[in-house]
Amino acid sequence: MNTEAYFRARPLSVIALVTLLAFFNATRFGFVWEDQDRVRDNVALRSFTSVFVHFIPGRNPLDFKAYTPVAYVSYYGDHLLWNLVPAGCHLTNIVLHALNALLAYALARELFARRMPALIVGLLFGVQPIHTEAVTWIKNRAELVGGLFFLLSWLLFAKWLQRAAAPSPLHRYAWESCLSEKISRPMTNDEIPNDESAVRRTNDETRKGRSTSERANWRFGLRDSGFFRTWVLRHSSFRPPVADCGYAALGSTPHVPRLYALSLLCFILSLLSKPAAMTLAAVLALHVLLFAPRQRFRLLLATAPFFVLVALYFVLIGRAAGQSEPGSPPLLARLSLVPATLCFYLRATVFPFNLSADHKLANAAVWNLAALKPVLGLAILLAFAALARKSKLVVFSVLFFLLALVPVSNLKFLGARPLAEQRAYMPSLGYCLLFAAAVASRPKRASSRVVCVLAMAAAVALSAATAQRNFAWRTNFALWSDTSLKSPDYGRPRHNLGELYFYLGRLRAAERESHHALRADPKSAISYANLGNIHAARREYAQAIACYGKAIELKPDLAEFYTNVAIVHAEMGDAPKAEAAWQKALAVDSKNARAHYGLGNLHRYRGRHEEAVREFDQAIALKPDYHEALHNRGLSLDKLGRIPEAIGSLEKAVQANPEAWMPYYELSRLCALLGEHERAAAYLGQAIRLNPALAQTGRPRGN
């Protein structure tokens, strides 16, 4: 058995197993919140060609602002593997997160050159409770895929840097001299002398000044990061035993440009997965400045292509995908939000309690005392980094945390959700590195075994907290009930809970939640619309139209409000007003499939079947699996005497929704008219299977 390989694989196995167990209960959950629109009902994910529409900026079929085309390609992979079943989509998210935890471990191995701190980083990153929103919410695939390529690009760059930063012959001589005397402690940058005679003198002083036990127990300093030792063990004539050096598994030096090119490729993929990945360019520059052993300016130039790619991203994609939210605060107000935003993510990462799907960010004045508290928190964090400046990894961890939060700091206001736990996914790695650095600098009397036991106990506790937090995301009702309890004065949880009560038929509870939402946010147009839906369900049409009118007044550019008004007028029997409302909806959004369908229905009921077919055709072109439009199109074609076309349309309706009995019944009737009695009997059998009442009457109940 290869003992070295076993000890290398053991930390990876532990990290993967603990991470998978912490999130595995999510595989029993369904789609929640925006999952229905982005994944379940997104027809563009069901074909190889249509999924690449997401790569065209501004051409996303669902008109989402975030430019994340690679994440949508991963959804197409879910379609091929699991047919977009929720359990399969959740499993993909969990596996991606486990891979990210393993990459975090690999990066920490590069930075610490020790397994124990790297294991702590991997475990802590894998089971952080704040990652629940990013992992358990399927819609957040972009965080996971973007994080995967972000970490992979960083790791490849670190590997390249380790090989590109080859020491000079004088450095090599100093190291060979140290290793030939079997001194365990490698020299740091500051200790390497400037001439050959000083090299020998320094070696003698080092050898005489330390006892054998001190030399044997020396731990690699954070400043060394393994760069020199790895280079010497590969390139010098000295070859210590495998058991002593532990570098035998590294093999021969790979082709250096290949690592750099792969790092650039992964960076491009991370940008196409998550726009916040642009911070990697600054992270790599910081990595070079702090950890490169020599020739830092030359190596710093190697980060220039990453900055060029960021600039190209802004030029080519930024205008279409990164526009500011309408109604965003002015620059001075946004600057006052930055400290509060950063401190929120710091608090939620270090103390992951009271996690919620909705957090409110108050628009505080710059010199308000409430705004100065976050500034004080950030000052303490930076002061800690300054005090620990001798440990480069501590400084790097703090700066990485802040750099990774810049895109989500509300300098560019993030609209309806200025704070979201999912955005702490990659910045939390900075906290993990900082925690591991603190553990690595433990007193000498602290046993490694004790540290390992404590780390595993903490991992188990965090895993239990993560598994418990997952249950809040099992259904929409569980999610918004939990959020309403933790944020009782916020409008969105109350509104969404009211919508759920409405769909369950609990109109009184829905009305109560809608009024709560309006008290929390009196300018919430969707809450007025939801209240209008409740009045319409009670046939209180005057109150419903008044509520819809208030919603339109607050947000006149949303076609859904006009469609609701049209439906109410149609139920009241006022066809002209209904048609006018449908036309207004189409004027606001000409690609609204529901508006075309509603207008087609209105034409059909008024006997205008040619116009109805045209509207149904436009609705189907926008939404090919719109089974209601396919069904009603078939009925209009039947009225026009175009029976073969009607049969074709009804058959497509059956394919789009096999559980609807009415298309089968209409198909049996039309096939009987054409004399195809066997086919008619087969369709009638399907209709009876879905609606047993047809077996007694031979026709729909009420006819």
Render pLDDT for 73-98 as a digit per residue (tens, 0 to 9). 888 888 888 888 888 999 999 999 99
Q: What are phi and psi of 556, to 5 degrees?
A: -75, -5
Give the integer Cα–Cα distance in Å for 482 and 479. 5
Question: What residue spans of 406-524 are helical by DSSP H?
Answer: 428-440, 448-470, 476-486, 491-503, 507-520
Cα separation, 17 vs 463, in Å, equals 11
Question: What is the structure's pLDDT at 222?
Answer: 34
Per the model's pLDDT, the better-predicted residue between 5 and 398 turns out to be: 398
pLDDT above 70 as % of the chain: 75
Whole-model pTM: value is 0.75
Per-residue pLDDT, 279: 92
- Per-domain boundaries in the chain: 3-163+257-471, 166-250
d(CA 404, CA 103): 17
Q: Residue type for 233, please?
A: L
Per-residue pLDDT, 217: 37
Q: Which carries the bigger pLDDT value, residue 447 or residue 263?
A: 263
Q: What is the mean pLDDT of the chain?
A: 78
Euclidean distance between CA atoms 233 and 226, whole angstroms: 11
Between these two residues, 159 and 298, which has the higher pLDDT value?
A: 159
- Interval 98-130: pLDDT, tens: 999 999 999 998 888 788 888 889 999 999 999
Lowest mean per-residue pLDDT among 145-154, 219-228, 291-300, 663-672: 219-228
Rounded to an integer, the average pLDDT of 252-266 is 75
Contact 133, 421 (CB under 8 A): yes
Res. 240: pLDDT tops 50: no
Is the per-residue pLDDT at 20 higher than 70?
Answer: yes
Q: Which of 641, 583, 584, 587 is nearest to 610 (CA)?
A: 641
116 or 55: which carries more pLDDT confidence?
116
Distance CA 650, CA 629 (A): 10
Mean pLDDT, range 231-241, rounded to an integer: 42
- pLDDT tens sequence across 536-583: 988 888 899 999 999 998 888 888 889 889 989 888 888 888 888 888
Q: Which of 70-84, 141-155, 220-234, 484-498 bottoms out in mean pLDDT, i.e. has the lowest?
A: 220-234
Q: Is 280's pLDDT higher than 90?
A: yes
Model confidence band, residue 275 (pLDDT cutoffs 50, 70, 90): confident
297 three-class SS: helix
Q: Which pLDDT score, from 0 to 100, does residue 262 have?
A: 93
CA atoms of 178 and 207, how far apart (whole Å): 9
Gap between the Cα atoms of 343 and 372, Å rounded: 11
pLDDT digits (tens, 9 = 90+) for 407-427: 888 888 777 788 888 899 999
The pLDDT value given to residue 384: 55
Residue 181 has pLDDT above 50, yes or no: no
Return left, alpha or beta for 83; rule: phi > 0 is left, psi -120 to 50 is alpha, else beta: left
pLDDT band at 377 (very low <50, low <70, confident <90, very high): low
Kindly state the average pLDDT of the residues 373-381. Answer: 54
Burial category of 488 from C-beta neighbours within 10 Å (exposed 0-12, middle 13-18, buried 19 and up): exposed
The Cα 427–Cα 402 span in angstroms is: 7
Four-point Cα dihedral 556, 559, 561, 563, nearest 10: 140
Bigger pLDDT: 476 vs 206: 476
Distance, CA of 53 to CA of 34 (rounded, Å): 20
Predicted pLDDT of residue 148: 95
32 has pLDDT over 60: yes
pLDDT band at 442 (very low <50, low <70, confident <90, very high): low
Instruction: Give kind and range of the element (H or E) at residue 285.
Output: helix 280-291
